[in-house]
Structure formats: C-alpha cells, structure tokens
Homo-oligomer: A and B are copies of this chain.
Amino acid sequence: MNFASDNTAGAHPAVLQALAEASTGRAMPYGNDPWTDRVAARLAEIFETPVEIFPVATGTACNALALSALTPPWGAVYCHEQAHVEVDECGAPEMFTGGAKLVTLPGQDGRIAPETLAEALDRGGFGSVHSVQPSALSLTQSTECGTVYRPDHLRALCDLAHAKGLGVHMDGARFANAVAALGAAPADITWRAGVDVLSLGATKNGAMAAEAVVFFDRGRADRFAFRRKRAGHLFSKMRFLSAQLEAYLADGLWLANAAHANAMATRLAAGLQGLPGVTLRHPVEANTLFAALPGPAIDAMAAAGFRFYRWPDAGPDTIRLVTAFDTEAADVDAFLAKLQSILLIPAAATGT
C-alpha cells in the first residue's frame, strides 16, 4: 500500500479511454485540434471567465513557464519557504525565467500570512538597481502542508501583491483538492481573489501526464506560446494532452477524484489522532498529511511494506502520507490497523 505520493497512482480509466478515442484518425499538430479547443472552452466555463490555456505535461514545466511570464530575469518571486517551486524543481524557475530570484517567506502550515508578505514587500528594494525587483507572488493551493487558503486570505495576499505591481501565480498541482475541500467556486479561489495565472494540475489526480497553464490575465499570455515551444513543452500530438484534460474535467471527474482523495486523508487523520504517540503536524484539509510517530514505529511500518516518505523538514520522526483518487478505504484501514498493532507493542520489542 502506497502513501508515498499521489503520483504513484496510475491514470483513471476515463482518461485512458479518452486517449484511445483520441487516437483515431489524423489531427493537425501543436494544438490545432478540436480536443484542445474543447478544453479551452471547458476551462472558460469552469472558471466563469475567458482564459488562455497552454497544456503541458509536467508540474515543474507548468510552474516554471508560468513564472517566466510574470518576471524579468532581474525579478524576485515571493513564495513560501516550502514551496515546490523553491525546493523540488531543481532550479527550473531560475532556468525558465533567465535567473530570477525566489525569495522565500515563512508561514504557518504552508500558508503565507499577509503581514509576512507586507513586511517583505516593504523591504523590496523597488527601483533600486542593486536589488532584484519584486515581480511575482507564487502561492500553492492546496499547500505543500496539506492545508488550503480561504478566498479572503488569497484576496488579501493578491491585493498586497497587485498594489506593488506584482503578478500572482498559483501552483495548483493539487488545485482540485482545494476546490473540493473548500466547496468554493474555482473562480473564487483564483481570478476573483486576484490570481493572474494558474498552474492547473491533473497528473496527481487521475491524468497520466497533463497540466495546463491557465491565464486569467490574458495580456500576459501574449508571447507565451514561444516560451512553451522553446522549452520543448509544445507537444506535436497535442490532442493526447488535451484529451486527458477533457476527460479529467468532464462530468465532474476532477472534483470527484479530489473529494475521494480528501476523504481518504480525513479518514487516515481521524484514525491517527486516536493512536498513542502520534501527532499531526498540520491541519488535514486536503489529501496530504504529516504525522509524527515514534521512530521505531516508522521503521516497522516501512518494514511491513507500507510506502511513504520520511519528512525531516516537517520535524523529527515525521512522515508524509498522501492519498489519491484510487486510495481505498481498506488501504487506509490496513495502515491504521498495522500501526496500531505496532504502537501497542512495547517499544523495546520492536527495536532492532
């Protein structure tokens, strides 16, 4: 049973079915195909506003490309100190932006507080030739800590950013989980709150490899097609990216998958909270949770074949557990049962 990441799941059957159907016959390449047109229309519908969209295949590409549309090479991009763009992309944002600087901010439970951003902007060095120029704010929704930003929180952050001329990017690798968790309209946690460009993830939540850069501020999309091509992220057989997205967004699949994953995380959290010696590091609001366990119990669970990552950055003896669209309640229960059995045995008995 694998709780290492939602990217260890396969693709949803509806996505595979869409790929098979899309493969019939010839189609013009590079996005000049009906699938791509339909995805664009569908996203405009979902977000209740005209959008410019650019499908790509990986979250790192999606984020790095989006940021490159918001900052010059001498710009600063503010983000949470645990943001994926900062810690997990091997410098892709720096590569795509031509060397912009990510300026990290602390923040409880993966969220940046408006006051923290305000203070950082006060020290922003605007107009000083010696200082990188504050150009973008990047927010992750749902966050790397498994929490979500409420709409008013987002609006406060975006207002601060916009007041100083920064554009706002949202890393939505797990955007569906946030929508499902909040029960909010997608628009309410994006453009209505002030987000200019969204990295909309699908891969972790049922697609094979499909994401989309979604521009609400369409003026910023102007020359984006060149950026995507130049980075090797324009697919010739684009219909296969778009078909994945079309299936993902059809009939509420994306939200159903996310709601299921969230529910599994909630179930897991509830079970963990009842166990002795287990502490949750953050509120569990989406599909990712961080739990502190007795060290020997971590080793024992790993030895028992459960897959998860140890996460020292979140604290000592901490593991990360991620649920996905295909996580079954039985998997969760098996994890909890095994952990309970381990914790009830005196520690000495489990020692190596």
Contacts and interface: CB of A to CB of B under 8 A. Distances in A.
Contact of A90 (B5, B26, B229): B229
A289 interface: no
A26 B2 contact: yes
B10 A22 contact: yes
A240 interface: yes
Nearest to A57: B57
- Per assembly, the copies of the chain total 4
A272 interface: no
B101 A98 contact: no
A24 interface: yes
A20 interface: yes
A170 interface: no
A351 interface: no
Contacts of A19: 11, 16, 19, 208
A251 interface: no
A100 B89 contact: no
Nearest to A93: B99
A30 B90 contact: no
A150 B58 CA distance: 38
A233 B130 CA distance: 12
B232 A61 contact: yes
A4 interface: yes
A307 B24 CA distance: 17
**Top 7 closest pairs, chain A to chain B, by CB:** A61-B232, A94-B99, A10-B23, A7-B236, A2-B26, A60-B232, A74-B226
